[in-house]
Structure 1
Amino acid sequence: MGPSRIIAVRHGESEANLAYRRAGERPLVYGRGDDEVTLTALGREQAAALGRLLAALPAGEEPEQVWCSPYRRALDTWEGARAAWGAGPLPLTVDDRLRDQEQGAFARLNPAAVRERFPGEPARREAEGAYAFRPPGGESLADVVVRLRAFVRHLERRADGRRVLIVAHDSVVLGLRHVIAGAPDAELAAVLEFAPVLNASVSVWRTGEGAFELVRFNDVGHLTS
């Protein structure tokens, strides 16, 4: 049967998100590894807003288990949300399959730096398609989907009948949309129309008629209320 409800959240704004945005079209090599990046002050505020949203959920909709990416920005988002929620201890599982899409040789580089250092790669990405393109030494979105499919099968056993919160990354939330829908891999490109997945956005699925129903996707209403 699997989980009765899945809430998937992208982490709050990270220091790398902010640095890349400020750099604009100026090439930038960010100083920290992807797994080390922490939240900005805004990201911490977004995590707290997520916690307030969880606290306001009706009885029977609040998460019973938490599954989190091992990356610092995701863990910090959960900790900030948990503190604002004020809930008691919840089972927390850190799962490597929820890590962000690995960028290989592009790690720490903003798009302008990628174009500067790897001038032929943007054309290859265009030719192969954004979902299939694999940076040198990195992962494609299709690769992320492979590990997420294994994760969802694992969740079916470990969270049967439970309400689950997943705190991870934009590529993970997009991949989950594809996997949970049971769409064939030939249709993976279609999921990109729902990008970008916003910082601290909430996506919700619930079971019904033997399958998952998407309730809302990439919702950030709690960040402005």
Structure 2
Amino acid sequence: MATVILVRHGRSTANTSGLLAGRGEGITLDATGREQAALTGQRLASVPLVAVVSSPLERCVQTSQFIIDRQSGTPDTVLDRELLECDYGLWQGRTLAELAKEELWKIVQAQPSAATFPGGESLAAMQARSVAAIRRHDAAIESEHGPGAVWVAVSHGDIIKSVLADALGMHLDMFQRLNVSPASVSIVRYAVNRPSVVSINSDAGDLSWLAHSAPPAEAEVGGGKGHQAPRRASS
């Protein structure tokens, strides 16, 4: 099975100012976001990526470039509108403090499967398109590059949370229990029987084991031996 690394974009200017950016233009990484994305690129430098698929919004493209720049090879690069941020409709561009007073906010928190943003998209539709896109890319990449292929999808918080919820077999109404921080790494492998969630919301640590780890075909009873620990330089 191939391995997909789900990366949220680094912190954006909208995150800093408390705005719901949505699909608005001109939202870029702030200074901290660039540092976060650079660190993620550094963490992934030892992992030979075959592809980087990104939401076309600028904050994701910027994050993708930090990852691509640290690769020794040249991964395929794709912009996919199916990984776009949720269409928040009339909520887009408003402050989170203001939106928290809306009645819909309570539904988004407690029963997101029933939430449709005015003039925009439902969270259920967002999940359906994003999960379908990730699974489609994963199947195509495995077919072309083999079961050991590793690729990256750079997208947005709610998108990644919804993909993880699907992989975990969670109802969408539980996806708010998941946290996906800026520039964090989450790892999923799609097998014949079920997805396997390897990591969620990781923002530190060695990832070089992904270059050498052969994923088991099925879940190992008892938990398995895990991946090999990174080698430490001798003093």
Q: TM-score range by the shorter chain?
A: 0.7 to 0.9
The match for 2:200 among 209, 212, 217 is: 217
| Partner Cα separation in structure 2 for residue 101 and residue 212 of structure 1 | 23
Q: Is 1:189 matched with 2:187?
A: no
The match for 1:15 among 7, 10, 13 is: 13
4+ long deviations beyond 4 Å: 123-126, 207-210
Code of the residue aligned with 1:95 in structure 2: it is D
Code of the residue aligned with 1:90 in structure 2: it is P
Preserved CA contact (<8 Å) 1:69 1:95: yes
The match for 1:79 among 65, 70, 74 is: 65
Q: Which residue of 2 aligns with 1:112?
A: 97
Q: Residues 122 and 190 from structure 1, CA distance in 2 versus in 1: closer, same or farther, beyond 3 angstroms?
A: closer
Q: Residues 209 and 140 from structure 1, CA distance in 2 versus in 1: closer, same or farther, beyond 3 angstroms?
A: closer
Preserved CA contact (<8 Å) 1:131 1:192: no
Q: Which residue of 2 aligns with 1:150?
A: 132
SS at 2:200 equivalent: strand
CA offset digits 1:57-90 (Å, max 9, x no partner): 4xxxx3211110010000000112222x143321
Q: Is 1:67 matched with 2:53?
A: yes
Code of the residue aligned with 1:105 in structure 2: it is L
Structure 1 residues without counterparts, runs of 5 or longer: 21-27
Q: Is 1:204 matched with 2:210?
A: no
Q: Residues 113 and 53 from structure 1, CA distance in 2 versus in 1: closer, same or farther, beyond 3 angstroms?
A: same
What displacement does 1:129 show?
1.8
Q: Is 1:103 matched with 2:85?
A: no
Structure in which a larger fraction of residues adopt helix: 1
CA offset digits 1:178-202 (Å, max 9, x no partner): 3334x37xx221222113x100000
TM-score, normalised relative to structure 1: 0.78
SS at 2:196 equivalent: strand
Q: Which residue of 2 aligns with 1:24?
A: none
Structure scoring higher RCO (CA < 8 A, sep ≥ 6) equals 1
| Partner Cα separation in structure 1 for residue 188 and residue 37 of structure 2 | 20
Q: Which residue of 1 aligns with 2:112?
A: 130
CA offset digits 1:100-157 (Å, max 9, x no partner): 11110010011223357xx54445656x723421120122321111112331342244
Structure 2 residues without counterparts, runs of 5 or longer: 207-235
Code of the residue aligned with 2:198 in structure 1: it is V
Q: Residues 29 and 8 from structure 1, CA distance in 2 versus in 1: closer, same or farther, beyond 3 angstroms?
A: closer
SS at 1:17 equivalent: helix
Task: Give the aligned CA root-mean-square deviation in angstroms.
Answer: 2.7
Q: How many percent identity over aligned positions?
A: 27
The size of the alignment, in residue pairs, is: 201
| Partner Cα separation in structure 1 for residue 161 and residue 20 of structure 2 | 26
